[in-house]
Amino acid sequence: MPKARETVLEIDLKALKHNYEYLKSKLNNNTKVLAVVKAFAYGSDADEIAKYLQDLKVDYFAVAYISEGVALRDAGIRTPILVLHPQAINFKILIERCLEPSLYNAKILNEFITVASEEKQNNYPVHIKFNTGLNRLGFDENDVDTVVSIATETSTIKVKSIFSHLAESENLKERDFTRQQIERFKHISDAFTERIGYKPILHLANTSGILNYPEAHLDMVRSGIGLYGYGNSEEEDKNLKPIATLKSIISQIHTIKKGETVGYNRAYKSDDLKKTATIPIGHADGIGRQYGNKKGFITINGSKAFIIGNVCMDMIMVDITDIDCNEGDEVIIFGDHPNASQFAHTANTISYEIITAISQRVKRLIIDN
């Protein structure tokens, strides 16, 4: 990897390939893989990630919103794209760009049929989401007859898949709850298939579902965080490679006398002679204020340097008193060590939050070698 000369997020496509192949090794040969590339591919670069995975023959993509699907189409992605949380105001655009909606209640289902009919669609692929315990989006189990009735009264749509979402698949202490979700979904899918007269694609497992519940793999699995290098457990993290490394440099080194303060609100007061380094990254780049005051740390020349004082909008200051370093030296915010999970843990949060928070003003550098 090249040495950083500015704040940069390096994205390692070979690590992405490793993660994709590792996750696929857990599946039967006929199980499809849906790659979740919402939120700029979890804070990396959705266009580049999707292009690379398309070359690896991934079966499906998923995004949260229609605008994200449009951006992928504009980037040349032709693989099917599931939109997980579409809004009715954009249904016409969704159809124009050949995106496939998740429909989760009678209102949104009927609204889509109306727009699809106006657009003279026939057998337009839709995905029906059922709620099995996450209680976020989805039809209830007792809505099967209603959905089938609506879907079979029109030739405008065809149900491409039915799916649900596991709530606690990473927490093995909640096996009973997860297995109840799996059984509930199997009951729903059996009833749905019998009533509609054909078998849609069935999918339920997220990354932790792939790793922990083989019985939930069904026809297709959905992976987001696993593709980006995190398995929601220390043990599985060892089998995956973080694709993103956030780097920066030391802009300036200061010597701070005993009693002097650092940063806004004078949040750090030195208890002795200290050396500090100022790094050009801050809460506008995704490093929130919760990482300040010695909670978060970065790595300089292999040593931990704790963030002192409050995180600024564009800068952090770190304690380098016992570190041999110079202005211009590279620093690692997260990557292999600490990885994003370890970095996030210092502020009592999770890898998802820190990696998706990295601002789009941070330069992305694609590594493919």
Within 8 A by CB and 6+ apart from 107, the residues are: none
CA 320 to chain centre: 33
The active-site residue, picked from 14, 264, 269, 304, is 264
CA angle 22, 38, 224 (to 5 degrees): 20
Radius of gyration of the chain from its Cα atoms, rounded to whole angstroms: 24
- The Cα–Cα gap between 245 and 37 comes to 18
Q: What values do phi and psi take at 34, rounded to 5?
A: -105, 125
Task: State phi, psi for 160 to the nearest 5 degrees.
Answer: -80, -40
228 in catalytic set: no
What is the Cα–Cα distance from 190 to 330, expressed in whole angstroms?
Answer: 56
Q: Is 268 a catalytic residue?
A: no
Which listed residue (17, 38, 247, 274) is catalytic? Answer: 38
Concatenate the DSSP letters of all residues of 271-301 into one string. SS-EEEEEES--GGGT--GGGTTTT-EEEET
H helix runs in the chain, sequence order: 13-24, 38-43, 46-55, 66-74, 91-96, 106-118, 144-152, 175-196, 207-212, 234-237, 340-345, 351-357
Q: Closest by alpha carbon to 230, among 334, 339, 345?
A: 339
d(CA 27, CA 113): 35
Spatial CB neighbours of 296, under 8 Å, sequence gap ≥ 6: 287, 290, 306, 307, 343, 346, 347
Q: Which residues are catalytic?
A: 38, 264
